[in-house]
């Protein structure tokens, strides 16, 4: 069975962020991930991890103003300096939390910016970030997102992500494969995971439709989890879903 990490940005949201660590540990998790940890002081998050004997396995680079609808700025030509400043902040948090990898969201292509320009900016930012992270022994991940939930998101397919990884040419750049997003965009989950396992450093899960917990939709997670074991996936599986009711009730899928 794969190793599961609780996404504390989407699970246990009945409680404030710093209280979710204890709830995750009580539910049986040994690891967590956070979409954006930056609203809490790094030392408070570090203490919550230590107190609950949890490891943090992933969080995202700063993504612009998420509250106003921005979905990262890595492909925005006029915000390269802001991207690099955000990377500095992320590295500070990564050091405090002992996280081994950071995810970079590509963002929505700005109006009026040609696709070739956005790609050029994204490649340059990824090269810069990968080099900075490599100096700290960290992996950099990129994640395709479905364009039904986020129209205009620049990186939206596995092949596109793999082509970017090849163009950037950094040994520490990998794919974050989100089962929910790729079910909506491509399907062929098992075949894609098997074919590109060497480039996949992290997996996230949610069922479709609704982005709820496994067992609420069309994806055969019993098969998929056994498939990950068969193909030898050794990374974490992040539970990045919206509980259909409460987090604790929605964790029944883990009991078998």
What pLDDT, in 10s, does the model give residues 90-111? 999 999 999 999 999 999 999 9
| Pair 111, 73: CB distance under 8 Å | no
pTM of the full predicted structure?
0.96
The CA-based angle 154-234-124, given to 5 degrees, is: 30
pLDDT average per 10 residues of sequence, the chain (256 residues)? 96 97 97 97 98 98 81 91 96 98 96 96 98 98 97 96 98 98 97 98 98 98 97 98 95 88
Instruction: Report pLDDT for 67.
Output: 75
Active site residue 186: no
Q: How far apart are CA 155 and CA 138, in angstroms?
A: 22
Contact criterion met (CB below 8 Å) for 176 and 205: no
The predicted structure's pLDDT at residue 107: 94
69-89: pLDDT as tens digits? 777 899 999 999 999 999 999
Burial class (CB in 10 A: 0-12, 13-18, 19+), 35: middle
Q: Specify the pLDDT at position 22.
A: 98
Lookup: tokens for 71: 């979905």
State the pLDDT at residue 196: 98
Q: What is the pLDDT of residue 256?
A: 75
Q: Which of 43, 143, 213, 248 is catalytic?
A: 143
Instruction: Name the catalytic one among 43, 70, 188, 240.
Output: 240
Instruction: Count Cα atoms within 13 angstroms, Cβ side, for 139.
Output: 19
Q: For the chain, list the domains and their CATH numbers.
A: 3-254 (3.20.20.150)
Model pLDDT, residue 63? 87
| pLDDT (0 to 100) of residue 35 | 96
240 catalytic? Reply is: yes
């Amino acid at each position: 069975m794969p190793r599961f990490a609780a996404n504390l940005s989407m699970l246990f949201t009945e409680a404030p962020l710093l209280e979710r660590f204890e709830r995750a540990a009580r539910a049986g998790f040994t690891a967590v991930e956070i979409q954006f940890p930056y609203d809490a002081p790094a030392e408070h998050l570090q203490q919550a991890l230590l107190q609950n004997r949890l490891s943090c396995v992933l969080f995202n680079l700063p993504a612009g103003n998420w509250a106003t609808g921005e979905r990262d700025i890595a492909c925005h030509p006029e915000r390269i300096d802001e991207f690099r400043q955000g990377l500095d902040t992320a590295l500070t948090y990564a050091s405090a939390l002992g996280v081994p990898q950071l995810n970079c969201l590509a963002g929505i292509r700005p109006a009026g910016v040609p696709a070739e320009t956005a790609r050029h900016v994204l490649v340059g930012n990824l090269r810069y970030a990968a080099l900075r992270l490599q100096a700290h022994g960290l992996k950099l991940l990129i994640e395709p997102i479905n364009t039904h939930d986020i129209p205009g998101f620049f990186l939206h397919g596995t092949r596109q992500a793999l082509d970017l990884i090849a163009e950037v040419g950094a040994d520490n750049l990998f794919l974050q494969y989100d089962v929910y997003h790729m079910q909506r965009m491509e399907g062929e989950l098992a075949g894609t995971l098997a074919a590109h396992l060497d480039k996949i450093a992290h997996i996230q899960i949610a069922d479709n439709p609704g982005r709820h917990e496994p067992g609420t939709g069309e994806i055969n997670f019993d098969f998929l989890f056994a498939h990950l074991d068969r193909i030898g996936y050794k990374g974490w599986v992040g539970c990045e879903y919206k509980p259909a009711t409460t987090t604790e009730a929605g964790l029944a899928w883990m009991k078998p």
